[in-house]
A and B are shown apart, each in its own frame.
Chain A
Amino acid sequence: MLQRRFLCSKVYKKPHHHQWTIKQVTKSNFTESLEEITNHIHDCDFVAVSLQKTGSYSAPWHRVLPVDTHETAYFKAKYAAERFQVLQFAVCPFSIRASKVIAHPYNFHLFPRDELKIGMPSYSFSCQSSYLSSMAREGFDFNVCIYNGISYLSRAQESAAKDRIGNAVTSTYVVQSSSTLSVADSLFVERIKSRVRHWRNACKDSTTRTDEALIRSLRKLVLGSEEYESRPCLSIEVCSERQVHLALEMLREFYDDLVPLLIPAKGGGTQAVRVVLTNSKEDKNLFERELQHMEEKQNRRARGFREVIDSISASQKPVVAHNSLDDFTFIHSKFLTPLPPSKDEFKCSLRMVFPHVLDVNHLMKEIGPLKKVTNLPTAISFIKRRFFVPIDLEIPQQAEANESEIHGHNVLRISQLFAKLCSLLKVTPEALEDDSGHLCSALEGYANIFNPCSTSSQDPIDGDVTVWMDDTRKVCSGDLVFLWGFRRGVSARMLKNQLSGSHEVFSEEFDVQLMDKSCAIVIFWNPGLAESFLEAMDSGGISCEPLKEMISEGLRAAGYDIYNKVCRLGLWKADLADSLDKALADTDSLSEAHSKEPSEIYWDTVSMINL
């Protein structure tokens, strides 16, 4: 039919010279690949995942920064996960044997197509043009993704859509001994009874006769008979659940060769009961099995790519990722349920599905010289230079020569890096898991940590945290003050100079960093000073002329609680200053009791945003 109207079907491919081949999966080869990967997942030790999204953060301060606590980092990740879309999902079941990583990488192309016409999985999604452009530069084929991407439904969506999926379902009604029939009820029952009888007799009759086509079709017309999967059937319109009930009861009472199907109405409920005539008892059983099979098929179609997620989950294998908070907020919101309002709930909910999540980024932090590396290629080349870790990659499956094999390599990098890190950390990967499905204790300590900027502590409040190396210092969120309303284009150093003489609190050690162009953060290294500064600001700088003047020029300040509120309420404006203003303006909710206990932040002066 229609031929593609691609511009000369130009191949926008960047030459890549990888010896690794990764199986690319779209709608057309999904079924077979699903079976393969399920087996691999079953046999492997670990599953590495890596996601390609349509965007991450829209303004500099929207990304997770070192000043973020676990909670605010989660809000930021949640905001991104709810807006952007996953276009590629690479999954790589792998095992580590001696100095070899045996990997089975697959790269799934996803598109949230509304396959069932029920407004799911996604009404709309955001794209950042810089993300799409850089994918384009890597040779990503958007047509393949949109035309042939695999769709999906999240667990929550599947159960919500059960009655809207729109396929005929076998009646699971338990027929109760019917209550008293009203006149209308008995009229209804009598009417359909005679109609069914008539139709059934005619069908039985005509099967033995060989009518002309014309007569056959006329008969069909008169009887209102249709065909369902080559069996004759008849539709009974119903107006209420009560009538559905009556119809089913009548059918069960009088006929054993009729199978009733419920045709769902668009807005929920039942629109009609379809009666299908079977030849015999055996045929009836056969038909019922067919129905079940079809239903299962339909459900599988609805779940789509989520089958892979379910299969990883069912295996209870440890999942290895890079920047796990980003990836798993996406996974949770697209394939499980909408993201819960707090980080703790998120962790609990995720742990039910994926008991062990290992983040290579976090493992790297355990190795001194690597602790500040967050970028995958840098980490790999760093390890190559600094350590001798002979780990080879072996990919037993050879995907057929496919031009788009260049995608999804990150998942292999993650697998290999993970193996190297394990070796550096002296964790023997073969013994990672015992029979009962528990991680070996060596790795257990590294699992399920989702804060990209934190160190080993799983619990930020009472964990025994050590002050890190020379340039990373622990600071309590209570000692941070957000400052905005200053002239645009002021550098952190200028601001610090300006502040130095303005108030007595600044005679002690403090630092200033810009969060974005509109807002800075002041770190007081001595406890209690932040509070006095905020008080001075509140009083309008009484008895402190320089501060008073700065305030009159528009300077504003707020403590960490306001920043936390900005993130919690999702006031994601382009400038942090505007968001903070908005949060301050919401005075009525200021009084609400929110956990005020300060949490600890690892202040890393080097990895702070560069503006």
Chain B
Amino acid sequence: MKKRLMVRGLSETLTLASNNTFSFTRLFCSSTTSTSSTFALKNVTKSNFECALNDLRRHVRDADFVSIDLEMTGVTSAPWRESFEFDRFDVRYLKVKDSAEKFAVVQFGVCPFRWDPSKQCFTAHPHNFYVFPRQEIPVDGPSYEFLCQTTSIDFLAKYQFDFNACIHEGVSYLSRGQEDEAMRRLKMAYEDEVSESWSHLKEDKDTPLVRMADVLFAERMKNIISEWRDELLRDRNRGSKFEGTSSDSNQQFQTIFFNMRPAITLSGFTSHQLRLIQLVTKKHFKDLAYVRVNRETSCVQHLIVYTDSKTDWELVMKEVKDGLRKEAEMKIKAAVGFRHVIDLLSSEQKLIVGHNCFLDIAHIYSKFFGTLPLTAEEYVSSVHKYFPYIIDTKILLNANNILQHMMKKGSTSLSKAFAVLCPQIASGVKSSSLAFKPCVKVEVQVDDMRSSNWNSGAKHEAGYDAFMTGCVFAQACSHLGIDFELHSPSANLAYDEKLQKHINLLYLSWINEDIIDLRTGKAAESSGSTNLKTRYPKILFPNIALIWGFPSKLKGREIRECLCKVFGLHSVASIYHLDETAVFVQFSKPDLVSDFLELKETLERSNDPISVLHPLSKILEGGSTRAASYEIYREICSSPFSKVLFADQAEAIGIKWKTKLLDRKVEAETERDESFSKENGEKTVLLTKAGQIIKDPYCAHFPSDELIDSLYPAEAHLSK
């Protein structure tokens, strides 16, 4: 679902219609004997994961690049956490962080692309992994929990997402942190047990048999075991087999071989009885070892094993322990599950291609590597270590003139880009003669089926989206002048000089075209020659006050009127609704923020009749209106939970004051010193915006009415 929340653009509706012809192929069970081009992409669930992973290893190793795409259970945990123009660089990261931490990944598309010089085309291997955060092994700490955004789930349903496959059959995973923790616990448990078993000679904290029944039972067991042992020894001396020993007529005892030693299995006993048998064995038979082993059917088997000597006894115990430990380790390895795919992508250091993939990468980081750091800078430097080469097709499309021209400066959504850049794949028509440049050919291979005009995916299915992204990238490269025929297979595509200026740049927020450079963690200049969107004038964060908890009927326009009455006609540059309970007010001067906060504080303190007549009283009505500077928004965005309404959220994080005054000059000074780097990053943003303003002076008069009442900003901007 991505950032394509509620409103699907018209373009998508149109492409959906044109896709209908292919949609019948979406049935997974399409027969494998088919030689036509309508086979399904590779769907991977629990049952075929091991096998698919092995194939994928080979494909990724050979690949020139790997495209990825994720489907999640949601994007924003509250309306006020959606993407706004009024998001500062650090706030934007916090929003992405919140999203990646709260929502689950349910589908993961991986599509390795390899250039085949003999066929002069790319071979793509689209994989569609169903992922579900199932708790496969007991983990310390809180239970696995994730959030679902209702609209996103509904969106997935609209595109026929198979929730049953995901929840019943999805591949689970452990993050690196979880795996280490599980291994550590296992090691501890093993060591405890080993030390325990060595101290066996020290008599058990002998729980004396008190109940008569227990005493009788123990005695009988002792006799049976001793009889079996004696017979064993006798048989051995006589040199005959002991399979036919008569004492085994009892169904509960069966003689078998365990690690080349004779043993009896114990079955049909209660756990209490088994404990008594264990006690008897330990107490009376120095050459018999009581062990528990796991059988294939995952049931535990209890055995008494005959050993030759003390060393042999210890050997048996060690073998059993090691066996159990190995099994537990295997279980943990198996529980790592889908993370093997991520580890593969990371270790192969291939060029990763995504479409508007900052959130995708954040999900990968938080699910498979570790907790997301508090700042974008820290985050980006760790991501860069795991994935040194990431390229974003949305950046590419907006950065290059030729590509922009081809896109007709319209939307750069994935499906649109695919339809425009790769028409021969998108529509299945081989009409490359019409194009001014021949299209890059892509052949799809799934298991042993190949096709050169494959298009049987479904939009917003992660595997197919990854495939589309890869096709768009290949085509874009060709338009950038990269000649794959000259490209040597050993050279890393990521070092191609034509891609250099686009690599490792991601949209931190598409809405403002804020780009983050993964190498530095700083905001990067948009390298695009023209801007597609009408830019809003610069947003000066020190000029912003945040007001919430005002009377619910109050509109932005009215708040502006009130403020203008007090601070002058041009004092308010713009008003922006965060949600129905909160607004950002951008004043024309930073001083007005503190003036406003002080005035509000004074009015609330002196509860006299005059203050009731004050123009601001309209905003303060109800007595729960709160206000603070922009900083509070960052603070609230970084809190771990999410109430639907901003005012409720502020209350939930324990804000009790009504007005947070600015400690004027002093604070401003220290803040600048403390967070120089942050400020620096911010300034870069402001500078680009300022430059924009100069180009277009008419825009400086802020069209505030457009913003006022825009309670649904997400709809307009969130489409990917």
Contact = CB atoms under 8 A, between A and B. Distances in A.
Contacts of A111: 153
Interface stretch (A140-148, A188-196, A490-498): A140-148
Interface in B130-148: 130, 132-135, 140-148
Contacts of B27: 3-6
Interface in B149-164: 149-151, 153-154, 157, 160-164
Interface string B1-24: 000001000000000000010011
Contacts of B28: 5-8
Interface stretch (B71-79, B213-221, B233-241, B350-358): B71-79
B644 interface: yes
Most buried by A among B153, B160, B168: B168
Nearest to B26: A5
A581 to B, nearest CB: 14
Contacts of A58: 142-143, 145
Contacts of B168: 10, 12, 136
Given A124-B149, A125-B150, A59 B143 contact: yes
Interface of B: 6, 20, 23-24, 26-29, 43, 45, 73-74, 77-79, 104, 130, 132-135, 140-151, 153-154, 157, 160-169, 458, 461, 642, 644, 652, 654, 656, 709, 711-712
B433 to A, nearest CB: 32
Interface of A: 1-10, 12, 55, 58-59, 85, 111-114, 117, 119, 122-130, 132-133, 135-136, 141-143, 145-147, 266-267, 517, 569-570, 574, 586, 588-589
A124 B160 CA distance: 20
6 nearest CB pairs, A to B: A142-B163, A5-B26, A7-B165, A574-B142, A129-B144, A8-B29
Nearest to A12: B168
A136 B162 CA distance: 13
Contacts of A8: 28-29
Nearest to A267: B709
A562 to B, nearest CB: 16
Contacts of B458: 2, 5
B697 to A, nearest CB: 31
Contacts of A588: 656
B649 to A, nearest CB: 12
Given A2-B20, A3-B27, A58-B142, 5 more contacts: A2-B458, A58-B143, A114-B154, A126-B147, A129-B146
Given A123-B149, A124-B150, A136-B167, A2 B26 contact: yes
Nearest to B709: A267
25 contacts: A2-B23, A2-B458, A3-B27, A4-B27, A5-B27, A6-B28, A7-B169, A10-B168, A12-B164, A59-B143, A112-B150, A117-B6, A119-B79, A122-B150, A127-B73, A129-B104, A129-B132, A129-B133, A130-B135, A136-B167, A142-B166, A143-B163, A146-B154, A517-B140, A586-B654
A6 B157 CA distance: 11
A134 B157 CA distance: 22
Given A2-B20, A113-B154, A267-B709, A126 B146 contact: yes
Contacts of A7: 28, 43, 45, 130, 162, 164-165, 169
A3 B24 contact: yes
A395 to B, nearest CB: 28
A5 B134 contact: no
Given A124-B74, A267-B711, A143 B164 contact: yes
Contact of A128 (B132, B143, B154): B143
Nearest to B642: A124
Nearest to B130: A7
Most buried by A among B24, B45, B146, B150: B150
Nearest to B708: A267
B461 A114 contact: no
Contact of A146 (B132, B149, B157): B157
A146 B709 contact: no
A55 B147 contact: no
A6 B162 contact: yes
What DSSP secondary structure best describes chain B's contact surface? loop
B163 A146 contact: yes
A128 B150 contact: no
Contacts of A141: 164
What DSSP secondary structure best describes chain A's contact surface? loop
A111 B156 CA distance: 14
Most buried by A among B133, B148, B709: B148
A588 B45 CA distance: 53
B165 A123 contact: no
B23 A1 contact: yes
A114 B154 CA distance: 8
Contacts of A147: 157
A111 to B, nearest CB: 8
A114 B151 contact: yes
Contacts of B146: 126-127, 129
B153 A146 contact: yes
B583 to A, nearest CB: 14
A406 to B, nearest CB: 15
Contacts of B135: 129-130, 133
Contacts of A142: 163-164, 166-167
A125 B145 CA distance: 10
Nearest to A5: B26
A59 B164 CA distance: 27
Contact of A129 (B145, B160, B652): B145
Given A1-B20, A267-B709, A113 B150 contact: yes
Contacts of B78: 123-124
B29 A127 contact: no
Nearest to B28: A7
Most buried by B among A10, A129, A589: A129
A147 B156 CA distance: 10
Given A7-B28, A114-B154, A146-B153, A124 B147 contact: yes
Contacts of B24: 3
B666 to A, nearest CB: 24
Given A58-B143, A58-B145, A267-B709, A3 B77 contact: no
A588 B104 CA distance: 37
B172 to A, nearest CB: 9
Contacts of B166: 142
B77 A124 contact: yes
A5 B461 contact: yes
Nearest to B146: A127
Contact of A4 (B133, B140, B154, B162): B162
A85 B28 CA distance: 30
Nearest to A570: B652
A1 B458 CA distance: 13
Given A58-B145, A123-B78, A127-B145, A132 B150 contact: no
Contacts of B77: 124
B404 to A, nearest CB: 33
Nearest to B161: A5
A125 B152 CA distance: 11
A6 B151 contact: no
Contacts of A133: 134-135, 167
Contacts of A4: 26-27, 160, 162
B160 A5 contact: yes
A62 to B, nearest CB: 9
A498 B642 CA distance: 41
A120 to B, nearest CB: 9
B378 to A, nearest CB: 23
